[in-house]
Amino acid sequence: MVYRRLLPVPERSFFLFGVRGVGKSTWVRMMLPDATRFDLLDEALFTDLMGNPALFGNLLSGIKPGEWVVVDEVQRNPALLNEVHRQIEERGVRFALLGSSARKLKTAGTNLLAGRATRKAMYPLTPAELGDDFDLGDVLRFGTIPLVWAAEDRREVLESYTQLYLREEIRAEAAVRNLPGFVRFLPVAALMHAQTVNVSSLARDTGVARPTVAGYLEVLEDTLLATRLEAFEAKLRVRERKRPKLYWVDPGLVRAIKRQLGPVAAEERGALLEGWVYGLLRAHNEIQQVFDAIAYWSPVESDAEVDFVLTRDNEHLALEVKAATNYNTSMLKGLRAIDGLPSLVRRILIYTGPHEFQTEDGIHVWPLDRFHEALAEEGLWPEQKRAMSRSGFEATSQQVRDLDAQ
């Protein structure tokens, strides 16, 4: 089944990055059906363009100003961007430049067309895109990369997918010199999903040098498989942790790297849900402005933590994610600790239980589906919220106490 993606087509030329199988090519065929297309996975075309760079300009000679040209897997031949630059500047041709890795573009020294093309990203499928097919259990177990989600045997495809990544993204691009060391590194890094990254510890566990591990982390980010989330400096008269947290792009992918594709264990669920929510926030940020910056907050002197602090227009919104189905006040520890942050306009606890309410000290407690709706309807920030007339939204103090006692 093909799911319609929510990402709109930019008006001007753009790069679109995303992991293999996320649906970039399918999306561009649906959204730009009349575009001229160059697929650099076509080995004959790839070889011709590598041997004769001027050929690309000749092939574009019949394109009219304002028409679209799609270049798929553009990272395989970064030199084409010189001609793309000229075509945009001199002829007004518009380009959709698709890639599964930014590594070769970065190492080739290109400036990504110096602002002449916007940069966009495509993420695994969101609940708004899955519609009635959304199932949290399946999402946390197998992820929502379309190539995997649409497969009859998701486990088999997911296992093959990790091998495809190693072969085509690492070996083909010569991204690492010590491939065995990188293979040892991957499952260790997968264990760090939703945790702070200690490069020295990773180096010891992997058996490679610290600078090598630092390079491996860059490879994960360049190939779009993982990202590091920086710590937020709240300046609340507490010393805050500085190390970033590591998040993989998809829960199914991180489980496949660990070779754990059975039913999701209880000890996995919290990190998988937290990482998935982070990906969901980033996916919706590509569609509408959910935030200008995102970070996590964790003071050194206590075990209080807030999973995500979103910043927009110098205002902050704090989000805490819990996999538990039953609410209790211990879930609010981090959100209460950050209450003194200047310009903090909303605190939200997201959990997997059914009840929605607001605590006496102003913390919003949302079931997961309420969070989905808020993102899809741009209602995460207070000024965007819908009328509070939904049945059961405002809980009384007694209701809150009753839930806490469960």
Q: What is the 8-class DSSP label of residue 11?
A: S
| Fold classified for 14-121 | Rossmann fold (3.40.50)
| First-last CA distance in the chain | 41
- Residue 73: phi, psi to the nearest 5? 60, 50
Q: What is the 8-class DSSP label of residue 12?
A: S
> Radius of gyration of the chain from Cα atoms?
23
Concatenated DSSP letters of 61-126: TTPPTT-EEEEETGGG-TTHHHHHHHIIIII--EEEEEES-SHHHHHTT--GGGGTSEEEE--SPP
The answer to whether the pTM exceeds 0.75 is: yes
Residue appearing with tokens 């010393």? 239
Q: What is the per-residue burial (b if ≥16 Cβ within 10 Å, else e) of 62-97?
A: ebeeebbbbbbbbbbbbebbebbbebbeeeebbbbb
- pLDDT tier at 237 (50, 70, 90 boundaries)? low
CA dist 105 and 103 (Å) reads 5
**How many CB atoms are closer than 10 A to CB 21?**
23
Assess if CATH 1.10.10 describes domain 127-278.
yes
| 104: nearest Cα among 121, 79, 87, 86 | 79
Q: Does pLDDT of 123 surpass 80? A: yes
CATH of domain 279-404: 3.40.1350.10
Domain range list for the chain: 14-121, 127-278, 279-404
Q: Does pLDDT of 238 surpass 80? A: no
Note the pLDDT tens digit of each residue in 89-108.
999 999 999 998 877 777 65
| Three-state DSSP state, 59 | helix
| Three-state DSSP state, 345 | strand
Note the pLDDT tens digit of each residue in 358-402.
999 999 999 999 999 999 998 999 975 433 333 333 343 444 444
CA dist 96 and 345 (Å) reads 38
Q: Is the distance from CB of 124 to CB of 254 less than 8 angstroms?
A: no
- pLDDT, average across residues 43-51: 95
